[in-house]
Amino acid sequence: MSLIKKIKTLALSAHPEVVAIRRHLHAHPELSFEEYQTSAFVQEKLTQYGLPFTNGIANTGVVAYVEGKKPGKKTIALRADMDALPITEANEVPYKSTVPGVMHACGHDAHTASLLGAAKILSQLKNEFEGTVKLIFQPAEERSPGGASIMIKEGVLETPKPAGIIGQHVYSMLPAGAVGFRSGMMMASCDEIDLYIYGKGGHGAVPQLTIDPIVLAAHIVTALQQVVSRLNDPTVPCVLTLGKIESVGGAYNIIPEEVRIQGTLRTMNEQWRKEAKQKIEQIATGVATAMGGVCRVQITDGYPFLINDEELTARCKQAAIELLGKENVHDLPMRMTAEDFAYYTQQIKGCFYRLGTGNAARGITANVHTPIFDIDEEALITGMGLMAWLALNELQD
């Protein structure tokens, strides 16, 4: 029996267990940097599979090892994130979240379940490959500074150092059984913007005695549109979104003292990213000063852009075709969303791909980060099987 057939057989055999794993995780979600029970559950499963692991990395992170013959020959890493989101689930399913206000609305339960499934498959194929597969169960993808950055600082990419790292993410726009790849730039950097605009409050009937921060804010919002539309090279992908604006105080007839604005800057060019943040500060403070007010700008650096290594991604795509068939492997466009997997791709060769989880016939089409997000659990067969096959394919090369 070929290695691909063995992986397919083992994935089908493990599917009921991996579905149960995913449902357990879905019913018991934990927020970023709080994945204590999730981490303990992962460690329990790894122990059942007879795999050595190290815990406590980035507090709740776990790294396991599947060693084949000649374990020091080459190492490839597989990564899954474990945290959930502060969303109240609206699905009425047997595995609905039991934690008020917390939900696996981004599919990290499926990621962790798939990697545990891959761990089980690989543990049964130890005599079929040479080298080591490093399994990274990572906390806090959803919250800056990102669990990936902390795990890297704590040595997750060392001893042994992987030749490359592979990760996957659920994607409801593709049906279960399908996957999608993109070489090169795939996802954007992401920075958080906070603007604090101060004026002079007073009675709404005598605006001449005030410095209206709401008017200041309106001018600042309008002026900041230049950052993308006029100051950015149109060939460089860039998004500046101001998603929240609120006054501190104020009423029908009260001009407040302060307005706060929150937003995000996303791009795929590090030099422009640096310049754009400077432009935002210059424009916001300049407009406020010109109108008699003050603007304090705070920009928090978030994740870098995610770049898929072209050679590694090409091999992974071809391996996916061998496992799943060409009709189930798709090319994906660039996305302006962000992922802390990007930190790994800034350090070593990486391939981050999309795992189809949709099923239009069953109404499973909701996007991530929504209260009704769910997956077609048939996707877990692909999720665990492909991760195992991609790792072994890389070790064979």
Active site amino acids: 83, 141
Please give the full DSSP string across 293-361, using - where no structure is assigned. Answer: -EEEEEEE-----EEE-HHHHHHHHHHHHHHH-GGGEEE--------TTHHHHTTS-EEEEEEEEEBGG
Q: Which residues pair with 364 in a beta bridge?
A: 359
Q: Read off the tokens for 261.
A: 């604005």
Q: What are phi and psi of 3, to 5 degrees?
A: -60, -40
To which H or E segment does residue 93 belong? none
The residue type at 326:
K
**384 neighbors 110 (Cβ within 8 angstroms):** no
Report the length, in residues, of the chain.
397
Closest C-alpha to 262, from 276, 249, 243:
243
**324 neighbors 178 (Cβ within 8 angstroms):** yes
- What DSSP designation does 72 have? T
Q: Report the distance separating Cα 302 and Cα 305, nearest Å.
A: 10
Asked, as a colleague might, if the bond just before 213 is cis with ω within 30 of 0, I would say: no
- Please state whether beta strands 294-300 and 254-255 pair in parallel, antiparallel, or not at all (unpaired): unpaired
Q: Report the distance separating Cα 289 and Cα 68, nearest Å.
A: 65
Q: Report the distance separating Cα 114 and Cα 109, nearest Å.
A: 8
CA distances from 188 to 179, 183, 354 (A): 20, 14, 16
**170 neighbors 105 (Cβ within 8 angstroms):** no
Sheet holding 238-248, edge to edge: 238-248, 258-267, 191-198, 294-300
Closest C-alpha to 193, from 257, 105, 271, 283:
283
